[in-house]
């Protein structure tokens, strides 16, 4: 124990190192837990790739056209899917061709059936080399999805979507389980530093009070 204390005193910043070390352990443990959860889901038949029929989804500000494609009818097109059997949902792949620049492409999700969609539970599509969009969802229960395939500006008018296909739970590499996303990465970088600053403040305050005691 004395050697450990002497080693800690020799470090220039032991508290920040400890906080970021704990964050690293938490990140690693979370990734391993997600891998195990996904493996159990595949083994139990709850995590399977499923094609969604856009025509069977709830449609807002978007409608099928006479050519077999889709056309926006308002400024906030949406395709909404409700989870009918509590299946696991980890990702959505959208393959489509747009007649104009789609601008924002995002996917909202809820974790309860009675929960409204909100910007606090939203992921953005990652454009792939083949121009498809892949959405990676957080681990946990998914009750509903709301796909906003595009966000037409007023001056654009209607946008036509052709060859639209949607697939749940497309295969992803194993290391995707360790990807916390941009918001998660921000948390891993910022929160340990704030915790270290708070702990340092408490430590320095305690030392100051101890020195003031007669």
User: What tens digit of pLDDT does each residue of 15-59 get?
Assistant: 788 888 888 998 898 888 888 888 888 888 888 999 999 999 999
User: What tens digit of pLDDT does each residue of 187-210 get?
Assistant: 888 888 888 888 778 877 777 777
| Residue 112 to residue 82: CA distance in whole angstroms | 10
Could you tell me if residue 142 is inside a domain?
yes
Could you tell me if residue 83 is inside a domain?
yes
Could you tell me if residue 111 is inside a domain?
yes
Could you tell me if residue 118 is inside a domain?
yes
Is pLDDT at 162 greater than 90 in this prediction? yes
pLDDT tier at 10 (50, 70, 90 boundaries)? low
**Residue appearing with tokens 């949406």:** 78
Neighbours of 28 (CB within 10 A): 11
Could you tell me if residue 183 is inside a domain?
no
pLDDT for position 179: 78
Could you tell me if residue 197 is inside a domain?
no
> What CATH number is attached to the domain comprising 146?
2.60.120.260
pTM for this prediction: 0.77
The domain total for the chain is: 1
Tell me the two tokens of residue 54. 């856009």
Q: Which domain holds residue 151?
A: 50-176
Q: Which residue has the higher pLDDT, 76 or 179?
A: 76
């Amino acid at each position: 124990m004395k050697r450990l204390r002497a080693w800690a005193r020799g470090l220039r910043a032991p508290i920040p190192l400890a906080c970021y070390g704990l964050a690293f352990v938490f990140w690693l443990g979370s990734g391993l837990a997600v891998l195990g959860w996904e493996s159990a889901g595949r083994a139990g038949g709850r995590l399977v790739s499923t094609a969604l029929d856009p025509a069977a989804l709830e449609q807002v500000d978007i409608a099928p056209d006479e050519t077999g494609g889709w056309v926006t009818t308002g400024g906030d097109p949406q395709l909404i899917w409700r989870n009918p059997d509590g299946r696991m949902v980890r990702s959505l792949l959208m393959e489509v061709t747009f007649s104009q620049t789609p601008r924002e492409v995002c996917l909202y999700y809820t974790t309860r059936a009675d929960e409204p969609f909100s910007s606090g539970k939203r992921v953005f599509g990652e454009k792939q080399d083949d121009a498809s969009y892949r959405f990676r969802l957080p681990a946990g229960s998914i009750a509903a999805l709301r796909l906003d395939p595009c966000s037409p500006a007023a001056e654009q008018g209607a946008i036509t979507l052709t060859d639209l296909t949607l697939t749940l739970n497309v295969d992803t590499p194993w290391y995707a389980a360790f990807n916390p996303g941009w918001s998660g990465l921000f948390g891993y970088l910022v929160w340990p530093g704030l915790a270290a600053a708070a702990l340092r403040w408490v430590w320095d305050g305690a030392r100051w009070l101890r020195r003031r005691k007669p």
